[in-house]
């Protein structure tokens, strides 16, 4: 091969390398973006599941009397007429 053909072949090879790896977004960048896209889709799926479960809890709090009563008893210490409330207070461990 002549020197001109070697130079032409080198230019073609460099152009191919630049087409694959050069420019603003190389093949490596494309692979990284695809990996990030998969991670983000998984995160969105997890968030959707969380939102769905929170919607179910909200619906229960708004409409289910048993859930409302449980919350009233556990969080606010409410009792029904005729019931007694016993609160257990931990012992004082400061030594006073």
Phi, psi (degrees; rounded to nearest 5) at 5: -70, -40
- Read off the pLDDT of residues 31-41 as tens digits, 9 standing for 90 and up: 889 999 999 99
Helix (H, G, I), strand (E, B) or coil at 73: helix
Q: How far apart are CA 10 and CA 5, in angstroms?
A: 8
- Read off the pLDDT of residues 53-89 as tens digits, 9 standing for 90 and up: 999 999 999 999 999 999 998 898 888 899 888 888 8
pTM for the structure as a whole? 0.55
Sign of CA dihedral 68, 72, 78, 84: positive
pLDDT on residue 96: 63
Q: How far apart are CA 96 and CA 90, in angstroms?
A: 14
Please, are residues 85 and 95 in contact by the beta-carbon 8 Å criterion?
A: no
């Amino acid at each position: 091969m002549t020197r001109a053909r070697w130079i032409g072949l080198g230019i073609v090879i460099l152009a191919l390398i630049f087409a694959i790896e050069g420019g603003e977004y190389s093949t490596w960048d494309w692979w990284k973006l695809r990996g990030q896209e998969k991670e983000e889709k998984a995160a969105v799926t997890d968030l959707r599941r969380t939102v769905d479960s929170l919607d179910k809890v909200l619906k229960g709090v708004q409409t289910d009397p048993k859930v409302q009563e449980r919350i009233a008893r556990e969080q606010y210490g409410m009792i029904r007429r005729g019931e007694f409330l016993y609160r257990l207070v931990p012992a004082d461990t400061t030594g006073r």
